[in-house]
Amino acid sequence: MRESRPLAEQSILRLPERVVSPVRSLSSRIGIALALIAVVVAVVYIDRDGYRDGDERGLTLLDAVYYTTVTMTTTGYGDITPVSDSARLVNIIVITPLRVMFLILLVGTTLEVLATQGRERLKMARWRRHMKNHVVIVGYGTKGRAAVETLTNSGVERENIIVIDPSNQASLEAQSDGLASIIGDATRRDVLVRAQAAEADQIIITTNRDDSAVLATLTARQLNPKAHIIVAVREQENIHLLRQSGADQTVTSSEAVGRMLALASVNPSLAEVLEDMLSPGNGLEVAQRDVHPDEVGRSPKWTSDQVLGVYRNGHLYRFFEDQVKTLEDGDRLVVVRNADQARTPRTPEREPRSER
């Protein structure tokens, strides 16, 4: 069931940590503190004959409240004192422990709540200050989770990924997976602004509807003309709309699944190899790396990795094309390699976005 519209419009940011409302926590503790005061007032008023006022009057209810407040806060003016044995015993057994509980509860937890709130604000400010060249994932369903898994296995730190999803449950799951998350609709500009989309290096959009993907792409591209935007599209006929909206790359999820199913039926061994290449962490993997100095001037076939393509000046060339007979300084190679090779952290640099 879809979340109600007001919740999606709130655009709640969650960092990967359980957040407790300081107002609610403080309010509940104040309520408990007032209850303790009421207990002490009742105890003192019931045994009011065992107390002596400075003016030799008997204790009224107001006197009992006054005595309780100055006693519980350890002010102690001394104008009202317990004189009978029973009153002193009640002070020792009941009032003194309640006074200690009161101080611990009210003063201690108030400082704790204020400190927690301050830490949370500092954490938010630090997150916003350092969140640059990060990855924004729109949608935390099956495709979004797979994207996060592939990114982290490729060397991207979880601290550099933020998830946007209108579902509260998906947001909580992303948070429990160690990711910052925002509850909100990524077609809304304010939601993408909260995700620092203007500073993002990549934006991956995996919505369940193509019309939402188009609008989210338009909004993201308007905020960040330089970001590399990859969009999962359900229908082939909508690819041109996403391209016109600003998507750099599109992946047709339904057709890709259909091709894999057909390959598994017609050529099982080929499907197994492709699945291995697309599954990060073991076996073969598809990766992109800079050309090494000793590879410059040589053929792509000479490299230690199996080269599939070469990115040069924002264009992708297949390894067999004449434009890349020899490698040049600044080339980026798309290779198939052993997934067990040591990986270097992902660099924020990427190929310049080609003009449309």
Torsion sign, CA atoms 254, 256, 262, 265 = negative
Distance between CA atoms of residues 198 and 186, nearest Å: 13
Residue located via tokens 């990114």 = 151
On whether the CB atoms of residues 187 and 216 are closer than 8 A, the answer is: yes
Q: With CA atoms as reference, report the closest residue to 312 among 354, 279, 283, 344.
A: 354
The pLDDT value recorded for residue 223 is 92
On whether the CB atoms of residues 15 and 124 are closer than 8 A, the answer is: yes
* CATH 3.30.70.1450, the chain: domain bounds: 279-356
Characterise 43 by phi-psi region: left (phi > 0), alpha (psi -120 to 50), beta (else). Answer: alpha
0.75 exceeded by pTM: no
Q: Is 135 exposed, middle or buried (CB count within 10 Å of its CB: 0-12, 13-18, 19+)?
A: buried
The pLDDT value recorded for residue 233 is 87
On whether the CB atoms of residues 234 and 254 are closer than 8 A, the answer is: yes
Per-residue pLDDT tens digits of the chain, which is 356 residues long: 444 444 444 566 666 654 456 667 667 777 777 788 888 888 888 888 787 776 666 777 887 877 777 777 666 666 667 766 677 677 767 777 777 777 777 666 666 666 666 666 666 666 666 778 899 999 998 888 888 888 887 788 888 899 999 988 888 888 888 888 888 899 999 999 888 899 899 999 999 888 999 999 999 999 999 999 999 888 888 888 889 999 998 888 666 666 666 667 777 777 777 777 766 666 777 778 888 888 888 888 888 888 888 988 888 888 888 888 889 898 888 888 876 664 444 443 444 444 43
* CATH 3.40.50.720, the chain: domain bounds: 132-266
The pLDDT value recorded for residue 202 is 92
CATH number assigned to the domain covering 19-130: 1.10.287.70
Tell me which of 2.60.34.10, 3.40.50.720, 3.30.429.10, 3.30.9.10 is the CATH number of domain 132-266: 3.40.50.720
The pLDDT value recorded for residue 26 is 64
Q: Strand pairing of 315-318 and 180-183?
A: unpaired
* Helix orientation angle between 22-46 and 109-130, rounded to the nearest 10 degrees: 180
The pLDDT value recorded for residue 347 is 42
The pLDDT value recorded for residue 318 is 87
CATH superfamily of 279-356: Regulator of K+ conductance, C-terminal domain (3.30.70.1450)
* CATH 1.10.287.70, the chain: domain bounds: 19-130
On whether the CB atoms of residues 284 and 260 are closer than 8 A, the answer is: no
The pLDDT value recorded for residue 281 is 63
The residues near 314 (Cβ < 8 Å, ≥ 6 apart) are: 351, 352, 353, 354
